[in-house]
């Protein structure tokens, strides 16, 4: 059995970032694909903030996607997913942080959460004012910034890095609620997202994501098993969602 276990849902950008790092480094793992909203008390003990992902490596429990990815880089340095140059490495970490905070806020919490999670998990109405402001004001400001940070073509630092992976993860989840980068307004960003998401590792994860989209939480595990996902034999999920702090 693999020594690495991940707790977290495939549609989460935080989880996708960790899974992409594991895949790119050729590491075997199992995943318990729960949403944070349905974690049981054992999940709360592993993740005191009730956030995903959680990584367990031979008894070591780690929370927060950035902490996990840095741990994987330190323990399994080849192939490296962080630039060698000190300045570039710092910039890569900043772009990862920008993705995990600003993109998470505008693309996930103000868009995906409103349109998908509130509607289909908690059966609550969407706050249309939040969605409208995100689309018209907040997302464009964030994308304007990124457009100025990206090269005309290729990855941000020449070779694939944690910066490219992190940024692309958020646009993948946003696409589940039919959000796409306007290539006429942000041509560099649109081309960049398409390039990263076309990588084999993103395509592999996308197959698992697609098979469970729009299924009730109770049916997702069965669909993933049928698709060949490397699932754990047991789950920390429950049938009843509850509000928590699912950022990871």
CATH code at 4-80+211-227:
3.40.30.10
Give the whole-angstrom CA distance, residue 72 versus residue 80.
10
pLDDT band at 1 (very low <50, low <70, confident <90, very high): very low
pLDDT in tens, 189-221: 999 999 999 999 999 999 999 999 888 888 999
pLDDT in tens, 47-69: 999 999 999 999 999 999 999 99
Percentage of the chain modeled with pLDDT above 90: 85
Q: How would you class 158 by CB atoms within 10 Å of its CB: exposed for 0-12, middle for 13-18, buried for 19 or more? A: exposed
pLDDT of residue 92: 98
pLDDT in tens, 30-45: 999 998 788 899 999 9
pLDDT of residue 2: 55
Of 60, 82, 75, residue with least CA distance to 6: 60
Supply the mean pLDDT for the chain: 94
pLDDT of residue 214: 83
Give the whole-angstrom CA distance, residue 58 versus residue 95.
30
pLDDT of residue 158: 97
Q: Which two tokens stand for residue 82?
A: 């962080």
pLDDT of residue 37: 80
Q: 238 versus 102: which is more confidently predicted?
A: 102
CB 176 within 8 A of CB 112: yes
Contacts of residue 40, defined as CB under 8 A and 6 or more positions apart, other chains included, come to 236, 237, 238
Give the count of alpha carbons within 13 A of 88, CB side only: 15
Give the count of alpha carbons within 13 A of 188, CB side only: 16
Q: Which helix (H) or strand (E) holds 28?
A: none
CB 14 within 8 A of CB 100: yes
Let me know the angle formed at the C-alpha of 95 by 68 and 70, rounded to the nearest 5 degrees.
Answer: 20
pLDDT of residue 129: 97
Q: Which CATH class is domain 86-200?
A: mainly alpha
Give the whole-angstrom CA distance, residue 14 versus residue 164.
13
pLDDT in tens, 114-148: 999 888 778 899 999 999 999 999 999 999 999 99
Instruction: Return the domain boundaries, the chain.
Output: 4-80+211-227, 86-200
pLDDT of residue 117: 86
- In which region does residue 8 sit, left (phi positive, over 0), alpha (psi from -120 to 50) or beta (all else)? left
Of 14, 74, 73, residue with least CA distance to 49: 14
């Amino acid at each position: 059995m693999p020594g690495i276990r991940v707790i977290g849902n495939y549609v989460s950008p935080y989880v996708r970032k960790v899974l992409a790092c594991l895949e790119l480094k050729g590491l075997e793992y199992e995943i318990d694909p729960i949403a944070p909203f349905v974690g049981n008390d054992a999940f709360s003990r592993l993740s005191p903030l009730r956030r995903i992902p959680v990584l367990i490596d031979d008894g070591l429990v780690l929370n927060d996607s950035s902490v996990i990815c840095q741990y994987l880089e330190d323990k399994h340095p080849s192939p490296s997913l962080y630039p060698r140059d000190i300045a570039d490495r710092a910039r890569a970490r900043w772009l990862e942080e920008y993705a995990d905070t600003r993109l998470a806020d505008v693309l996930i919490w103000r868009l995906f959460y409103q349109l998908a999670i509130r509607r289909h998990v908690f059966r609550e109405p969407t706050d249309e004012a939040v969605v409208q402001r995100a689309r018209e004001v907040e997302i464009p400001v964030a994308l304007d910034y990124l457009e100025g940070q990206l090269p005309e073509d290729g990855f941000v630092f020449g070779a694939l890095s944690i910066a490219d992976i992190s940024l692309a993860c958020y646009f993948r989840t946003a696409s589940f609620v039919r959000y796409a980068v306007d290539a006429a307004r942000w041509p560099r960003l649109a081309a960049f997202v398409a390039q990263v998401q076309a990588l084999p590792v993103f395509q592999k994860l996308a197959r698992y994501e697609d098979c469970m989209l729009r299924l009730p939480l109770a049916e997702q595990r069965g669909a993933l098993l049928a698709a060949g996902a490397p699932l754990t034999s047991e789950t920390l999920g429950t049938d009843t969602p509850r509000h928590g702090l699912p950022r990871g």
